[in-house]
Structure 1
Amino acid sequence: MNRKQNNKSLNYSKLLAFICLLIFSGNVSGQELKSPDANLVANFSLADGGVPTYSLKYKGKDVIKTSKLGLELKEGKSLMNGFAISDSKTSTFSETWKPVWGEVKEILNHYNELAVTLTQKETNRFIIIRLRLFNDGLGFRYEFPEQKNLDYFVIKEEKTQFALAGDHKAFWLPGDYDTQEYSTVTSNLSEVRSKMKAAVTPNASQTTFSPTGLQTPLMMKSKDGLYINIHEAALINYSLMSLNLDDKNMVLESWLTPDAVGDKGYMQAPCLSPWRTIIVSDKAGDILTSKLTYNLNEPTKFKDVSWIKPTKYVGVWWEMITGKSTWAYNDLTSVQLGITDYSKTKPNGKHAANTAHVKEYIDFAAKNGLDAVLVEGWNEGWEDWFGKTKDYVFDFVTPYPDFDVQELHRYAASKNIKMIMHHETSSSVRNYERHLDTAYKFMKANGYDAVKSGYVGNMIPRGEHHYGQWLNNHYLYAIQKAAEYKIMVNAHEAVRPTGLARTYPNLIGNESARGTEYEAFGGNNADHTTILPFTRLIGGPMDYTPGIFETRVSVYNPENNSFVHSTLARQLALYVTMYSPLQMAADLPETYNKYMDAFQFIKDVAVDWDDTKVLEAEPGDYITFARKAKGKDNWFVGRTNDEVARTSKIDFSFLDSGKKYTATIYADAKDANYETNPKAYTIRKMEVTSKTKLTQYCAPGGGYAISIMAK
């Protein structure tokens, strides 16, 4: 090689090295990632100063404009800038997995992945940002590998941004560290600030943080017809993420829940953040059927799942919520466990959890083919549990004098009925953990395979919040401990779900939103159940407790003038539209006995499914689901409607071709109205096939339910 050729070779090598340097320092256009169907395109790049950024498009439309990534640390240089790309890997993954219970028999988990390693030269630290792009959306997270210069660190704030492409219509709740139990506000994002004060209604425990703070899942609709949902998946050993809105620039930024001293996360590498999720489509129904949140969680930790069973139950609950009965045994204003002798106190005569009364619920469940009975208020301590800063509130094993645990175990078993125990912690979490092993042993010894836990009130330890890292670890600990005893958990007032039920399928239910109980506290808005499947249910099922037939609360308690903002027909529909493997027939047995023709749907409807179709959907207006019962050829349809009378038009093409079915339609009568005539319903039967089409009237606050049985 002559000198001229050698110089050319050296110059070429220098040019190639320079190009590589540009690529891996982020000074070029960035790295593109496409979804398997190529409709979604994500872009990752480093902006000036080595700032990580990403963007997302759907069918050429902006979903998320260029947005910053990173974390601010309590001490030392932040993980927000000064990065160079030191490695980048892409991969493709596809599998089909079967959930233990769910809306479908099988779930496709198919994504393209980009993992970018970022090195911070000044500190010699490195992190990985991992992006997974599915056909229905994007998930990304921060990963902190084991390393010398980033071992223990405290998060001051996560600074993930979601720069929106416009002033979207949003379905939002006020950002809060302690509750999700607010009514959803529907407005443009630019109106959040002006509507926030009215949106923050009283709650047993609440801590709002910003005049533009919002909760996830946040459902939005753009002016050009995109449906966008922002949430998180796999919330483990981390604080829950809320969003703070910059309403001038339409940028959402992550806002973590702090602990008692204001810190937002204690981390030790190797560790991970939860996934930040963006589900997007130009069809509303695609948001409802997305399984992205579950797919970003790990497979189940349990080898044996035979003990985890979807359940339909009744319970001693609604009569206490309405004020007809009480949780407390007597009317004392101060009691102390181990000191107060309940056998020497005078019963108030309204205590619902007594042996004879619970047997009536067991009889009703057995007669009507239900699985279980929940009993609240069975244990000592309810007289002064609420609003007190008591560490030792309940011991979870000592029943009131009128509640015979052993006899009820015997009686329920003789009727083939399971019992569900109630553990209200009064948010005294340290006390609950002290008693947890003993409580679970007590449950198993007395035939209880499921527990409804509650976390009402301000947290003890004082200053901690319901959604902070410490409490999130507690909720998971309770689920894991329950699994050791083969106990299913239905957690109320706990952190909202993020798909963890895939990993821990004994988490069979959650509340974490305004459920039916609020109908006795003034009422949920008529559009409430047309929104929740787009928001709260994105992360997992809700124990909504539907099935209220007597919609006037004053019938049970003359001092309570609240009413259920729903027609009776829609109460039936909720068993289909509000998915849960744990479904309660929430009203009183004596009321159901008056409407057994309508109660037949509750008896028939499944709680586990092989297939799910969205027939109609528009958030805030209406939703119509069709679901196929697990292992059967029977389908069930449910329609929930807002406060506007509407006509539903569906076809039955989801049915098997060539087969005939008998459809029983439970519908609003022509004069039905959730405010003035809620119990006006009709029941009719007709033969249907895959070619049948149906036009059905839906009253204000109404809907319909259909059972479709194969002939």
Structure 2
Amino acid sequence: MKYILLTISVCFSLFSMKAQELKSPNNDFSMNFSLLKDGTPTYHLNYKGKEVIKQSKLGLELKDDEKSLLNDFTITHTETATFDETWTPVWGEESEIRNHYNELAVTLTQNETDRTIILRFRLFDTGLGFRYEFPQQKNLVYFIVKEERTQFAMTGDHTAFWIPGDYDSQEYDYTESKLSEISSLFNKALTDNASQEQFAKTGVQTALMMKTDEGLYINLHEAALIDYSLMNLNLDEENFIFESWLTPDAQGNKGYLQAPCTSPWRTIMVSDDATDILASKMTLNLNEPSKIEDTSWIKPMKYVGVWWEMITGKSSWAYTNDFPSVQLGKTDYANATPNGTHGANTEHVKEYIDFASANGFDGVLVEGWNEGWEDWFGQSKDYVFDFVTPYPDFDVEAIHDYAKSKGVKMIMHHETSSSVRNYERHMDTAYAFMNKYDYPAVKSGYVGDILPRGEHHYSQWTINHFLYAVQKAADYKIMVNAHEAVRPTGICRTYPNLIGNESARGTEFQAFGGSKPNHVTVLPFTRLIGGPMDYTPGIFEMDIAKLNPNNNSHVNSTIANQLALYVTMYSPLQMAADLPENYERFMDAFQFIKDVPVDWQASQYLEAEPGKYITVARQDKNSNNWFVGNVNGTTVRTTKLSLDFLERGKKYTATIYADAKDADYKTNPQAYEITTKTVTSKSKLKLTSASGGGFAISIVEKK
């Protein structure tokens, strides 16, 4: 059921300096808007009577000789409204989402230029969203943004969980520190990546998670990033003021705007309970409803794939070692010598199809199937792939027929090598190829520096490309899982065929030297605020040298922790990322991955502390069964778990996958115990999570 209650009041301010107040529906938040004496717009935010954002300036600096939109404003109009609806997502953590907020829209007119902008504020029970709006007008038509000057003035030296501000990469481990320590720790926080560019040692990325000394949790992010540059944050360490720092294009400009238009929403979530941050749907609610009318073809999936063996170095993407370079349509692959390590060959892919079919998986991803992988990376190469021509050992027709006979869908892989123009050149042909061979979803990749040269992954131009790819895919009824793309900001509500993203440091980095064992206790507070992540969990063999003797990396996790990720790292597209032979060694633990759904009726965040632990319970969308996941940081911890979320009066069978007493992510990661017991809504469980460990529980209703 959907319902909308909308009330509007209009007032014309008699005094341009008069403060405007807005409260959240539950009155926990109050926001004040006012102008300084020079006409500079400002806002100020309180939570439960406590100041969380000090008076902060708003505005945009324009390029060239234009007068910037920073000051000299008068309030000429205000509107307030209340909005309340319940909407149904195509997929998600909940079957219904409530969108309830109070709104204040302030119209400002610049005295000297007679230009008009609107500052729109929406205050939810979990936080504030605001954006800039530029109405149609004669004095502001085309304009170039030199920098957005939005401020977030903190009340003190908070603890932050941050990654370096960067124009091209989000693939960093998180650093926990005081705000005052960011610049001194910045270089230590950097790790190598295929493409990266930082702008200042005081720069960080959103979603930024913080905790105050008084125990308040604060999250800064953005929503509905469309036709605009990604926002980083730059910190004034002396005053603890963050200011927006947009990603430039190849010419150094931050955005090209044409009125009428809007900026993305800038978001501030606050609570005295960390679980409220995780449960908030504010980011989704600040995006527009689905623009896809028929969504029946958009279906969550669980998949396996020819991927981890290449990531670890056991197999290769490339077919041959014969050529120092290759060119589309010119290289003679038919007479080349196979290198013997190519993973995407027909017989090997059939083995994955067999495994998927036998274990109830929906799809199989195959990487390295198409011509061009011999010199795809680092060459600033425009015509790098055509996305339709297979290697000689990959029989598209045979694999399609075999997968169909086994009831399995193949998942396409489009690595663009960040040659964006080349991908757009081939996109229609590639998507039509997918339709012909019944590929419902594509994993796209953007590894390396963007072409055209000088562009960044998160500039306005490239962000527009990412959305274009999703929109074009929808025309062909194709779901998109974009890797190395811009971090999501909730646009999966508007385009639900955007079923997954990477856009953070995923499991692959466990084979590139490892990630911190508490990494997965931070990601839900940061990267996942904007949408689901294709984290590719499910690794059971932690010693990478057993797959590739030349790779001494170690997966910093226990098996129980890997199982829990299917619950704590929400995604409607979940991969069982390890090799089939490793699952066959631990089939009793693998059962949880087979059982856990990817679409949910309800979700409850039971306990959480960023960097330390997260425990989540979710109800299957299609049954009364529940699944619980706990991921733990480095300190051994005991959880006292109440099952009061279960339906009263019913009995359930709980299968508990827990760390063994001697489990440890570093010394004994494969030690786990499986127990089964009958439980009800009155039951309480006491479970201990190892360092880098956790637990997973399937709770099945007894018939």
TM range (shorter): over 0.9
CA distance in 1 between counterparts of 2:190 and 2:656 reads 39
Q: How far off is 1:27 after superposition?
A: 2.4
Following superposition of structure 1 onto structure 2, how do residues 50-65 of structure 1 map, counting pairs within 5 Å?
50-65=39-54
CA distance in 2 between counterparts of 1:25 and 1:199 reads 48
Alignment: residue pair count: 690
Partner of 1:69: 58
Of 15, 36, 52, which aligns to 2:25?
36
Per-residue deviation, residues 377-408 of structure 1 (Å, max 9, x unmatched): 00000000111110000000000000000111
Of 179, 184, 192, which aligns to 1:194?
184
Partner of 1:48: 37
One-letter amino acid of the structure 2 residue matched with residue 170 of structure 1: A
2:356 equivalent to 1:374: no
Following superposition of structure 1 onto structure 2, how do residues 11-160 of structure 1 map, counting pairs within 5 Å?
23-28=13-18, 30-75=19-64, 76-160=66-150
Secondary structure (helix, strand or coil) at the match of 2:377 reads: coil
CA distance in 2 between counterparts of 1:124 and 1:190 reads 41
Partner of 1:425: 416
One-letter amino acid of the structure 2 residue matched with residue 562 of structure 1: S
Alignment check: 8 A CA contact 1:612 1:628 kept? yes
Which runs of 5 or more structure 1 residues have no equivalent in the other structure?
A: 1-19
One-letter amino acid of the structure 1 residue matched with residue 265 of structure 2: W
CA distance in 2 between counterparts of 1:102 and 1:519 reads 27
2:302 equivalent to 1:312: yes
Per-residue deviation, residues 518-575 of structure 1 (Å, max 9, x unmatched): 0000001001000000000000000000000011101100010101000011100000
CA-based RMSD of the aligned residues comes to 0.8
Q: How far off is 1:24 after superposition?
A: 4.4
CA distance in 2 between counterparts of 1:197 and 1:24 reads 51
CA distance in 1 between counterparts of 2:180 and 2:441 reads 44
Q: How far off is 1:25 after superposition?
A: 4.2
Of 256, 265, 268, which aligns to 2:258?
268
Per-residue deviation, residues 32-90 of structure 1 (Å, max 9, x unmatched): 00000000000001111000000100001111110000000003100000000000000
Of all paired residues, the percent bearing the same amino acid is 70
CA distance in 1 between counterparts of 2:180 and 2:81 reads 39
Alignment check: 8 A CA contact 1:24 1:87 kept? no
Alignment check: 8 A CA contact 2:16 2:76 kept? no
Alignment check: 8 A CA contact 1:24 1:84 kept? no
Partner of 1:437: 428
One-letter amino acid of the structure 1 residue matched with residue 23 of structure 2: K
Partner of 1:324: 314
One-letter amino acid of the structure 1 residue matched with residue 474 of structure 2: A
CA distance in 1 between counterparts of 2:696 and 2:483 reads 27
Partner of 1:570: 561
Partner of 1:339: 330
Secondary structure (helix, strand or coil) at the match of 1:502 reads: coil
Secondary structure (helix, strand or coil) at the match of 2:440 reads: strand
Q: How far off is 1:591 after superposition?
A: 1.0
Of 540, 544, 549, which aligns to 1:549?
540
Per-residue deviation, residues 605-643 of structure 1 (Å, max 9, x unmatched): 010000001111000000000000012100000000011
Alignment check: 8 A CA contact 2:17 2:75 kept? no
Which runs of 5 or more structure 2 residues have no equivalent in the other structure?
A: 1-10
2:379 equivalent to 1:388: yes
Partner of 2:464: 473
CA distance in 2 between counterparts of 1:408 and 1:113 reads 54
Partner of 1:449: 440
CA distance in 2 between counterparts of 1:579 and 1:542 reads 7
Q: How far off is 1:225 after superposition?
A: 1.1
Alignment check: 8 A CA contact 1:25 1:50 kept? no
Alignment check: 8 A CA contact 1:118 1:128 kept? yes
Secondary structure (helix, strand or coil) at the match of 2:585 reads: coil
- Give the TM-score, by structure 2 length: 0.98
Following superposition of structure 1 onto structure 2, how do residues 2-17 of structure 1 map, counting pairs within 5 Å?
none
Q: How far off is 1:200 after superposition?
A: 1.2
Alignment check: 8 A CA contact 1:551 1:564 kept? yes
Alignment check: 8 A CA contact 1:168 1:189 kept? yes
Secondary structure (helix, strand or coil) at the match of 1:636 reads: strand
Give the number of the structure whose alpha-carbon radius of gyration is greater.
1
- Give the TM-score, by structure 1 length: 0.97
Alignment check: 8 A CA contact 1:26 1:47 kept? no
Partner of 1:13: none
Per-residue deviation, residues 167-221 of structure 1 (Å, max 9, x unmatched): 1000000000000001100001010010001111111000000010000000000
Q: How far off is 1:338 after superposition?
A: 0.9
One-letter amino acid of the structure 2 residue matched with residue 476 of structure 1: L
Alignment check: 8 A CA contact 2:414 2:443 kept? yes
Following superposition of structure 1 onto structure 2, how do residues 406-425 of structure 1 map, counting pairs within 5 Å?
406-425=397-416
Secondary structure (helix, strand or coil) at the match of 1:340 reads: coil
Following superposition of structure 1 onto structure 2, how do residues 174-189 of structure 1 map, counting pairs within 5 Å?
174-189=164-179
CA distance in 2 between counterparts of 1:225 and 1:35 reads 21
Alignment check: 8 A CA contact 1:243 1:255 kept? yes
Partner of 2:244: 254
Partner of 1:401: 392
CA distance in 2 between counterparts of 1:64 and 1:25 reads 24
CA distance in 2 between counterparts of 1:312 and 1:38 reads 41
Of 500, 523, 526, which aligns to 1:509?
500
Partner of 1:245: 235
One-letter amino acid of the structure 1 residue matched with residue 210 of structure 2: M
CA distance in 2 between counterparts of 1:171 and 1:691 reads 36
